[in-house]
Structure 1
């Protein structure tokens, strides 16, 4: 193929080639081959070179990342090469078809690297801000990688996520896929309970529970429905393995995981692998992360977890949003300006019944802003006669104190959603397994510990100063010299305390929305059990 190099440049400009490949950036593709004087990148005459063999293997295995091999022309490639490829393998094609094969591999590389490097779905379609998450690089940047020297296999691995959670989810996907291949029709018969089941109680679903957890059937007819000690211990072990509170009570979260079938779990892993690819790389030593479905906060320094604590997140009707912002400091003894939704839905009905409610709660009412703001007397206001417009013009501010729902500490993290991390004056919810209970902000179980983490690099700061600030009961902001990134994340599958993969609840139905977008744009595929060809997971 002495003249094949120049021919690549001519061939890839033809309308038929552009249409067949749906070229993402024709100019970038032309420039790439022009820099190579038109010579192929993937072929030595009519044989695959080493990088082609590596690329085809990556395409074949892309399902293990939750990606669809068909996005990267797998069927077209496998039809020519077969499922097993190696460097030097001859491609039985004429020159024109070889050039088309060359361009197919280039297009596959572009799409693969882009999909591994950022969001495959428009952020706006998911209610997210694109600037907060990794976006796919442009085609020219991807093609520039092919001009770099070095091992191609290492290059390809460098664009694939390498984090511990990502690798654990990949391993779980492989395990579940093998089980699915053995019996694609296998389904889990749901265990149904209207309310939590405590040890010692009876329920018609107990025999099904015993079967699900691998316990023998109880022979005594009178005891068959009793939630006995053996089953309680099996449930506790199951809860511990799944990262749940190991109390033996069969509640909504335990039932949710028990009732998941293989197809559900495979899809759940795929959407979480997708989200993990969105995570930007931070150059700061400290990062704070909150996972909303697990209601857990982590504070990391130099990649090491320094703090892990339960938090309270927004209930489904007032869901906490996912976004990135930066911590700028800590406010001690904060006041609280009541958000409009809470003001309208929670407080106004109470004011109509009892105008003294605001006085009892230490709240002040302001109309207007700045020097023109006026303080209103709640006892002298006819709340029932107030129009919606008049009520919206008011600001309700709760002064620092025991009634203040922000407690003694608020983390300063400016964002347009008015969502922040804070202490609370109501601590009973932290013991619950279902901690989606707030109005949108995030309540901290150990606010002093997080405040110390945030302020530890501030010169002259100490635990004694923090205690003195809290004791003063005066509102004071302590700013930090370098901001700390904070992420509010949405992962419904994560690593549990024993290293196991935990399948959490889709508390805000975000998994469902992302799955629909991925299925529409890309499809959800895994290998079947007879060969390496991929098959769609049917609805």
Structure 2
């Protein structure tokens, strides 16, 4: 049974009047038996369809050649039997159900016009009234290819991560057209439902889809707040009224925000500003300075664009992230522990500087190291530590560093004071530096390990003051955790490892200890500049690594 179509008014509200009008007529056309088209049977269409495919139809554009080939294989296996035409109104109604989802692609952050929807709809309307087998066969192929393209794009992404950013190392997902085509061919399956099942099922993706809907429905965007000095509680200023209006527009100031004097910065308005600052990763001081007003003046259209970009990123990720996993949002400077789709804990994180970016990738946590030593990576030793060593002869001893003659296993340990450090520079630094466990160790008291080619991991830090800052891009690529032992104890609890008491004993011993997890736990390092919290609030963050720009460029070049 084909699910009931949306009314014309519903279509106009969801996809816009021009396309809605065209599709409304098309749905009526496809859903009503056409006497002429019914005279052209599937048996008449099949040989013509095979002939068209032998001549190279359907013509696959760049990026769709593999889909077009899969489509040809599918129809050859059916001896050219069409899916939509030649069997009366039922096949055409099934096509209309699929096309309705394609028309609503905007709700998934995808432009329906990417699929030449107007052109396709016009061709289908003509085909539905035609008795020409060649017209019906050509339209059959183009319609199926359009639906298949959308199925691929909404499930695995419109552009591959490797094409987008050299620092994104997410394994590209593959799209298998066969199951989708077979589902289209199943008379008991609704093609619309087949397509609705294709987007990612992640909680985070669903939250972005809802955010997209909510921001799309915002009407009558008010004027921007004029430039000027910072607005502070207690002030009276015409710009306060402008700020009040924009906060109400974006939902940070409710209906109760209407006050007698709209130009007065009241305590109620200060609460709304703090709410907005929290959603945008700003210092929550209720002072509307340059950063807060700059974020507040970002247009709705730009926010919608950011949401769409982040929906694309979620399409790259595995369909299954794990029953329990760690999720680190680099752009959001935070780490989450997730169980059964629910965030059970969340903490602040420090990530890589803009010139030492934390990469995007997934792996599996296999062990933790309590009271770790830190073997300084060569690049950091040359660029960061060597200038300090030259400036302060006692730097190494004070910091608990050991110096070795090289990187071999039997390299001799050297006395730092016996080395003439002025002889060495970035081009020549043969030493290996290792920092002993202790209060000054750069890794703090614990590191959480998932061995990888980037030498990136999660760890503690003695620089606790950095967690109080709103922008936390200060590391050399690794992720520093605000409450690392809370994460360690969670990892041990969900995998059946040692309890908190045993971990505390190891910590207090001041000796290095490696503790393996009985079972590995997935960890996903993502880059999200927009997301929704479990309570439904929409959060945005500054694009610290300019990855939104790179993704946008890749999508435009598609």
* Contact residue 298 and residue 306 of structure 1 kept, 8 A: yes
* Contact residue 357 and residue 545 of structure 2 kept, 8 A: yes
In structure 2, the CA distance between the partners of 1:500 and 1:44, relative to structure 1 (3 Å rule), is farther
In structure 2, the CA distance between the partners of 1:256 and 1:413, relative to structure 1 (3 Å rule), is farther
SS of residue in 1 equivalent to 2:304? helix
* Contact residue 162 and residue 170 of structure 2 kept, 8 A: no
Q: 1:51 aligns with which of 78, 90, 94?
A: 94
RMSD: 3.3
* Contact residue 169 and residue 360 of structure 2 kept, 8 A: no
SS of residue in 1 equivalent to 2:511? coil
Matches within 5 A, 1:34-49: 34-45=76-87, 47=89, 49=92
Match for residue 24 of structure 1? 66
- Larger RCO of the pair (alpha carbons < 8 Å, separation 6+): 1
Q: 1:286 aligns with which of 324, 328, 335?
A: 324
Q: Quick check: 1:5 aligned with 2:51?
A: no
SS of residue in 2 equivalent to 1:43? coil
SS of residue in 1 equivalent to 2:156? coil
Distance in 2 of aligned mates of 1:367 and 1:445: 35
Match for residue 213 of structure 2? 174
* Contact residue 170 and residue 360 of structure 2 kept, 8 A: no
Shift of 1:198: 5.7
Distance in 1 of aligned mates of 2:58 and 2:247: 56
Q: Quick check: 1:272 aligned with 2:310?
A: yes
Match for residue 356 of structure 1? 394
Q: 2:107 aligns with which of 64, 83, 91?
A: 64
After TM superposition, the score normalised by the length of structure 2 is 0.81
Which range moved further: 62-71 or 159-168? 159-168
Distance in 1 of aligned mates of 2:131 and 2:432: 75
Q: Quick check: 1:334 aligned with 2:375?
A: no
Q: Quick check: 1:318 aligned with 2:356?
A: yes
Shift of 1:103: 0.4
Which range moved further: 336-345 or 139-148? 139-148
CA shift digits 1:309-331 (9 cap, x unpaired): 11122232322111111101110
Shift of 1:16: 6.4
* Contact residue 496 and residue 518 of structure 2 kept, 8 A: no
Shift of 1:64: 1.8
In structure 2, the CA distance between the partners of 1:245 and 1:50, relative to structure 1 (3 Å rule), is farther
* Contact residue 362 and residue 403 of structure 1 kept, 8 A: yes
* Contact residue 160 and residue 316 of structure 2 kept, 8 A: no
SS of residue in 1 equivalent to 2:365? strand
CA shift digits 1:114-136 (9 cap, x unpaired): 11221322322333588734524
In structure 2, the CA distance between the partners of 1:470 and 1:8, relative to structure 1 (3 Å rule), is same
Matches within 5 A, 1:199-278: 199=233, 208-210=242-244, 212-213=246-247, 229=267, 231-240=269-278, 246-250=284-288, 254-278=292-316
Q: 1:79 aligns with which of 122, 140, 146?
A: 122
Distance in 1 of aligned mates of 2:50 and 2:60: 16
CA shift digits 1:465-489 (9 cap, x unpaired): 1011111111111112321110011
Distance in 2 of aligned mates of 1:432 and 1:478: 32
Which range moved further: 503-512 or 278-287? 278-287
* Contact residue 325 and residue 523 of structure 2 kept, 8 A: yes
Q: Quick check: 1:100 aligned with 2:141?
A: no
Distance in 2 of aligned mates of 1:25 and 1:234: 49
Shift of 1:370: 3.3
In structure 2, the CA distance between the partners of 1:283 and 1:357, relative to structure 1 (3 Å rule), is closer
Gaps of 5+ in 2: 1-39, 249-256
CA shift digits 1:476-526 (9 cap, x unpaired): 1111232111001111111135312122221211111101111221xxxxx
In structure 2, the CA distance between the partners of 1:411 and 1:58, relative to structure 1 (3 Å rule), is same
SS of residue in 2 equivalent to 1:307? strand
SS of residue in 2 equivalent to 1:171? helix
Match for residue 448 of structure 1? 485
Which range moved further: 103-112 or 433-442? 433-442
